[in-house]
Chains A and B, each alone.
Chain A
Amino acid sequence: MAKQEVQDVKKTPLYDIHVKLGARMVEFAGFYMPVQYESIIKEHKAVRSNAGVFDITHMGEFLFEGRDVISFLQYIMINDLNLLEPSKGQYSIMCYKNGTVVDDLVYYEETPERFRMIVNASNREKDLEWLNDHIGNHDVKITNLSDERCRLAFQGSNADELLQPLIDVDLSKINRFYFAHCNLNNTPIFIARTGYTGERGFEISFENKYAEKIWNDLTNTGASPTGLGARDSLRLEACYSLYGHEISDSITPIEAGLNWLAKPKEDIDYIGKEILLNQKSKGTERIIIGLNLIERGIIRENYKIFKDGQEIGYVTSGGYSPTLDKTIGLGLVQSQYSEVGTELEIEIRGKLLKGIIVPIPFYRNV
């Protein structure tokens, strides 16, 4: 496993800290990121039982300003911005005209004319281009803050209790998906009650120059540095879609079971509306389902799924669940075989192992 220094792979402001902590660094979405510090399982369990700190600076952060921000996003996004209010954020998806996904993301309404948006690391450039290409006559200016700000997630069952002493606002007043601008030990931050772990917690963003101080403040609470490995196993237990897996430029949000996102409003036009609403009312030929393995083994993405010898789909995400101590997965299968309780087979390196469709999420505590 020879390590190659690839040119123009970026480092977050916390790179040196990760290396000093002994993290295994991997290239992910154009960044050197920690996949684990000591053990994915230990980090995963620390989040479930206490709290973890994640460097998510590789994700993109955009600022939207202008008179038409809301009407612009209402046209680009499938979720309904009428559900939003200042100081609140919203999970949403932007689709291509054919209903497949450009990206999933969260935006936050600071004022009706100023929004902050956090997007997937691997889609930063593509998203900016897509957004700018569709501004048209809208009075909207998009500023890319990704490289000047640092983003961390602080997630865990004890996240509130550990973080509150450092923060100068009452965290209990910030409801899920709401946010605030406040100070963490006198350092200005943006903080939102959002996350990707299925556990309580926050995501914060601040200027790069505070990175080391805030990282130290957060880990000094007793929260564990947590890498991308546990980030993935935590989100899989919670069944949050991952771009390129459950949603992608060839899978629609309706196929991914995210029906609730697609606004039905007659009077609102948005990209992908026709196909999404059609799929929502008539159903789709394929759908994302949850899987357990009955026989022992581990299922991983792209393994084929069979029913009575016939291929019916594939695993979109799979792995070992540290919380449940068993193999879990998500799969995209033909809808006629998607009922909970359906037994099927998953091909693992040439062998067919028995699995069963189970209700999802596997675990959530938010």
Chain B
Amino acid sequence: MDYKFPDNLKYTTSHEWVKIEEDIARVGITDYAQHQLGDIVFIQLPDLGTSVEKETSVGEIESVKAVGDLIMPLSGQIISINENLADSPELVNSSPFEEGWILEVKFSNYDEVNSLLSVNKYKELVQSEEK
């Protein structure tokens, strides 16, 4: 399979992507992850303002066949969620890196950013899972 791997993003081993702009991180799931889940029909997200810890599950992504966790790549406070996903969860399938972004978190621990995967490391991970 040919998946998209934008090289301006950071990644996690649980298949989230992270876009860092100053102290705000936008988070979604990768093209590979949405392919694995198939048609997404419902996304359960935390409330705005919730404080979240890195590597904990903060949401559930339900597809027709499966359910996946949304794992936080960074600790911080949720300052924005993608309201469009309530009525159009399929945006995560059709545009995982753009219109299908899921939430934004304000973070303060830059060490956590450094522990995220580069695009090349993430590609290697996907290739090994595909085998």
Q: Please indicate whether A and B come from the same complex rather than being unrelated chains.
A: yes
Question: Which residue numbers of A lie inside 8 Å of B, CB to CB?
Answer: 1-3, 24, 35-36, 39-41, 229, 233, 296-298, 300, 319-320, 322, 327, 349
Is there a chain A Cβ closer than 8 Å to B62's Cβ? yes
Interface size on B, residues (CB 8 A): 16
Contact present for A39 and B42 (CB under 8 Å): no
Task: Select B38's contact among A39, A296, A322, A327, beta carbons within 8 Å.
Answer: A39
CA distance A35 to B130 in the complex (A): 17
Question: Which residue numbers of B lie inside 8 Å of A, CB to CB?
Answer: 36, 38-39, 41-42, 44, 60, 62, 64-65, 67, 90, 93, 129-131
Contact present for B39 and A39 (CB under 8 Å): yes
CA distance A219 to B67 in the complex (A): 31
**Residues in chain B near residue A40, CB distance under 8 A:** 38-39, 64-65
- Known contacts A298-B62, A349-B60; A3 and B131 CB within 8 A of each other: yes
- Known contacts A36-B38, A298-B42; A41 and B131 CB within 8 A of each other: no
* Residue in B closest to A233 when the chains form the complex, CB atoms: B64
Contact present for B64 and A229 (CB under 8 Å): yes
How many A-B residue contacts, CB cutoff 8 Å? Answer: 44
Q: Which of B36, B44, B130, B131 has the most CB of A within 10 A?
A: B44
* Residue in B closest to A228 when the chains form the complex, CB atoms: B65
CA distance A218 to B62 in the complex (A): 33
Listed from nearest, the 6 A-B pairs whose CB atoms lie closest are A320-B41, A298-B62, A41-B39, A40-B64, A39-B39, A40-B39
CA distance A349 to B65 in the complex (A): 16
**Residues in chain B near residue A320, CB distance under 8 A:** 41-42, 62, 64
Contact present for B60 and A41 (CB under 8 Å): no
